[in-house]
Amino acid sequence: MICGDLKGRKVLVTGASSGIGSAAAVLFSEQDCFIGVHYFRTPEGAKETFKQVKKNSDGILLYADVRDEKQVEEMVNQFAKEAGGIDILINNAGSLIDRQSFEKATLDYHENIYATNVRSIFLVTRAALPYLKKNKGNIVNIGSVAGHTGGASGSGMYSGAKAAVATETMSMAKEFAKYGIRVNSVLPGFIDTRFHERFSTARHRKEVAERTPLGRNGTAEDVAKAILFLASDAAGFITGEYIAVNGGSYMRA
């Protein structure tokens, strides 16, 4: 990939035990970066990602519930200590958790969706900021096309949370520009990962592929490539922006 030289950059990827985060961790390791492979409930997935990373470069495994302030601070500080700083932060950890309608959703679900997808990015970014400032690093937040469209059935609150990710990406880009820190986001469309194995039927996955202009669902690797571009020097004058990776399923002027 023509993205400049990322060799030796210290890259913290949240939610690297599965799907998009795992693919991003491996892709950055192929550029000879030092990778923080973060996980929460799936240590076996994280170990598998780590094994792939070690084939190319080096890194460490990191545990934290990204909703928890103390765990996040410990995790970020551990990474910075062992890596010798932070150059790139990929705020990828997130989840739909469940499909729930506004009519029937519980308050716990509402709180959990925003804690998992929005509070998480605030906590990880705030903890990483002193290190990113030192290295004039950059941040890529993983939003969702659902944040623009309102999402599909039962994903309304998730969509709201991802809209907050899109807006806060712009706000962070403005606030951190004075430190030389760029902040961008990637908005995946329908990507075949554990996410849709859990929350969509096989029939729905096939229907989405058929109505997508490029004729298939996305892969975690499709999204990882856009993340890599935004995090690289090739995107050196891009901040507060997003790249939608969706095979043409959602276009706007």
Ligand X SMILES: NC(=O)c1ccc[n+]([C@@H]2O[C@H](COP(=O)([O-])OP(=O)(O)OC[C@H]3O[C@@H](n4cnc5c(N)ncnc54)[C@H](OP(=O)(O)O)[C@@H]3O)[C@@H](O)[C@H]2O)c1
Q: Which residue number, 57 or 112, has a Cβ lying nearer to ligand X?
A: 112
Q: Which two tokens stand for residue 43?
A: 């240590």
- Rule CB under 6 A: is residue 191 a binding residue for ligand X? yes
Residue 109 annotated as catalytic: no
Task: Establish how many alpha carbons lie within 13 A of residue 142's alpha carbon, considering only the half-sphere containing its beta carbon.
Answer: 29
Q: Which string of x and - marks every residue 213-232 that binds ligand X (by CB under 6 A)? A: -------x------------
- Rule CB under 6 A: is residue 75 a binding residue for ligand X? no
Q: Which of 42, 56, 149, 219 is in the footprint of ligand X by CB under 6 A?
A: 42
Q: In terms of Cα–Cα distance, which of 72, 252, 229 is closest to 147?
A: 252
40 burial via Cβ count (<10 Å: 0-12, 13-18, 19+) = buried
Candidate segments 16-24, 79-87, 169-177, 206-214, binder of ligand X by CB under 6 A: 16-24
Q: Which residue number, 94 or 137, has a Cβ lying nearer to ligand X?
A: 94
Least separation in angstroms between CB 151 and ligand X: 9
Q: Which residue number, 135 or 164, has a Cβ lying nearer to ligand X?
A: 164
Q: Which of 31, 116, 155, 239 is in the footprint of ligand X by CB under 6 A?
A: 116
CA distance 47 to 69: 24
Strands 34-39, 88-91: parallel, antiparallel or unpaired by DSSP? unpaired
Q: Which of 33, 93, 129, 244 is in the footprint of ligand X by CB under 6 A?
A: 93
Q: Which of 12, 19, 128, 132 is in the footprint of ligand X by CB under 6 A?
A: 19
Task: Establish how many alpha carbons lie within 13 A of residue 19's alpha carbon, considering only the half-sphere containing its beta carbon.
Answer: 22
Catalytic residue among 39, 131, 158, 242: 158
Q: Which of 28, 34, 50, 190 is in the footprint of ligand X by CB under 6 A?
A: 190
Of all residues in the shown chain, the one whose CB is closest to ligand X is 19
CA distance 122 to 169: 10
Contact status, residue 63 vs residue 75, Cβ threshold 8 Å: yes
Q: What is the layout of strands, in order, in the sheet containing 88-91?
A: 58-63, 34-39, 10-13, 88-91, 138-142, 182-188, 242-245
Q: Which spans of this chain sit near ligand X (rule: CB under 6 A)?
A: 15, 17-21, 39-42, 65-67, 92-95, 116, 142, 144, 188, 190-191, 193-196, 220
Which residues are the active-site residues? 158
